[in-house]
Homo-oligomer: A and B are copies of this chain.
Amino acid sequence: MAVKIKDVARAAGVSVTSVSRVLNNGEHVSEKLEKKVRRAIEELNYSPSLIAKSLKRNKTNLIGVIIPDITSNFQAMILSRIEEIAGRRGYNLLVSNIVEDTGKVVKYLNIYQEMRVDGMVLMHEKLNGDIENFLNKTDIPLVVHADLGMNLPTVIIDDFQAGYDAASYLIAQGHRKIAMIAGDPRDVCAGLRRMEGYTAACRDHGIGSKETLIRHGDYKLDTGYRLMAELLGEARGEFTAVLAASDDMAAGAVNCIRDHGLHVPGDISVIGFDGSQIADIVRPRLTTIRQPVEQISERTVELLLEMIEDEGESWRKDRMKTVVLGHELVERGSCRRIEA
């Protein structure tokens, strides 16, 4: 882009100030001047530099999103909605896909900071010293999608309760022996809390939960398949139902069960988590805990823009906002009632 505002000004025979004014259509300019400027812009095919503008204005209209895995349908749905909503408000997304590599998180947090993004969304749930350190120091508004215990603005569901509800549902259906394909316990919400909810529900209903019936995975389909195979191999007969920490893992489990010649829910009931597309794809369709994707996305952008547009930069001092959204148990075909 060789052509700059100065060239336009020269071509139109006006000052750069005036060109800038018609570009940002703030202060009034005469029709005649505006016409000249527009023509010059057109003729020169001028494209104003947002980089220069950002530097001057100290605002980039960029939001950095750190997402663990774009290929997860649930996460993609959230990202897609955030993009849409933020886009309408004039913000563009910088995204980095973490894929397993926790070390990348702090790398990208730093890059985003150097890029002077106006705000960030952190979906990653695992903390380490570097990340914690960064989060404590940064002045950039951010919203996290997990209860990191750091007094940061947060948008979440009550994962403990959701895990509790899922297990309770199974128990209400008559199940007494329930296995869990859980997430990574270092993921505070999706990993730990959901499992704690399950454990608590089992305990409250006096059926206990055996360590051997709990497996940990990374929320992916293949992992669900593999862990289900393990459970079938090592504890067949010790459970009549399985609770998975993601629909992807639940879907993998369903396929694994079927590949072993067993039936869902005839032999084993399966309940998922997330309410992603895949819950509808797999047969039988998954009974699952649906997270409110639309609300999560909306509230995230809302919260973030509120902080960004709060000139006082007081978001650090205010009592942090935590938005807890409701989840919903969606009954479909993957669970059945059994006799006590």
Q: Encode contact with B along A251-280: 1 for CB under 8 Å, 0 otherwise.
A: 100010010000000000000000001101
A116 and B281 in contact, given A45-B137, A96-B92 (Cβ under 8 angstroms): no
Please tell me if the beta carbons of B71 and A99 are within 8 angstroms of each other in the complex: no
Q: At the interface, yes or no: A113 with Cβ under 8 Å from chain B?
A: yes
Bound-complex Cα distance A15 to B221 (A): 55
Stretch of A49-57, A168-176, A178-186 contacting B (4+ beta carbons < 8 Å): A49-57
Q: At the interface, yes or no: A93 with Cβ under 8 Å from chain B?
A: yes
Q: At the interface, yes or no: A110 with Cβ under 8 Å from chain B?
A: yes
Please tell me if the beta carbons of A97 and B114 are within 8 angstroms of each other in the complex: no
Most chain B C-beta atoms within 10 Å of own C-beta, residue among A95, A96, A251: A95
| A323: chain B residues within 8 A (beta carbon) | none
Please tell me if the beta carbons of A71 and B60 are within 8 angstroms of each other in the complex: no
A281 and B283 in contact, given A51-B116, A92-B94 (Cβ under 8 angstroms): no
Please tell me if the beta carbons of A1 and B113 are within 8 angstroms of each other in the complex: yes
Q: At the interface, yes or no: A25 with Cβ under 8 Å from chain B?
A: no
Q: Encode contact with B along A11-54: 1 for CB under 8 Å, 0 otherwise.
A: 00000000000000000000000000000000001011111101
Interface residues in A113-164 (C-beta closer than 8 Å to B): 113-116, 137, 139
Bound-complex Cα distance A95 to B45 (A): 24
Bound-complex Cα distance A60 to B116 (A): 13
Bound-complex Cα distance A71 to B76 (A): 5
Please tell me if the beta carbons of B80 and A70 are within 8 angstroms of each other in the complex: yes
In the complex, residue of chain B having the shortest beta-carbon distance to the beta carbon of A93: B95
Q: At the interface, yes or no: A84 with Cβ under 8 Å from chain B?
A: yes
In the complex, residue of chain B having the shortest beta-carbon distance to the beta carbon of A59: B51
Q: At the interface, yes or no: A237 with Cβ under 8 Å from chain B?
A: no
Tell me how many chains of this kind the complex includes: 2
CB distance from A226 to the nearest CB of B (A): 13
Please tell me if the beta carbons of A113 and B47 are within 8 angstroms of each other in the complex: yes
A1 and B116 in contact, given A92-B94, A258-B283 (Cβ under 8 angstroms): yes
Please tell me if the beta carbons of A49 and B97 are within 8 angstroms of each other in the complex: no
Q: At the interface, yes or no: A235 with Cβ under 8 Å from chain B?
A: no
Q: Encode contact with B along A80-120: 1 for CB under 8 Å, 0 otherwise.
A: 10011001000011111101000010000011011110000
In the complex, residue of chain B having the shortest beta-carbon distance to the beta carbon of A252: B281
Q: At the interface, yes or no: A201 with Cβ under 8 Å from chain B?
A: no
Q: At the interface, yes or no: A295 with Cβ under 8 Å from chain B?
A: no
Q: At the interface, yes or no: A77 with Cβ under 8 Å from chain B?
A: yes
A71 and B73 in contact, given A221-B277, A258-B283 (Cβ under 8 angstroms): yes
Binding site for B on A (CB under 8 A): 1, 45, 47-52, 54-55, 60, 69-71, 73, 76-77, 79-80, 83-84, 87, 92-97, 99, 104, 110-111, 113-116, 137, 139, 221, 251, 255, 258, 277-278, 280-283
11 residue pairs A–B, Cβ–Cβ below 8 Å: A45-B137, A47-B113, A48-B114, A51-B54, A73-B73, A92-B111, A92-B115, A221-B280, A221-B281, A255-B281, A281-B281
A-B pairs, top 8 by smallest CB distance, nearest first, are: A50-B114, A71-B76, A83-B97, A70-B80, A50-B115, A70-B76, A51-B55, A80-B97
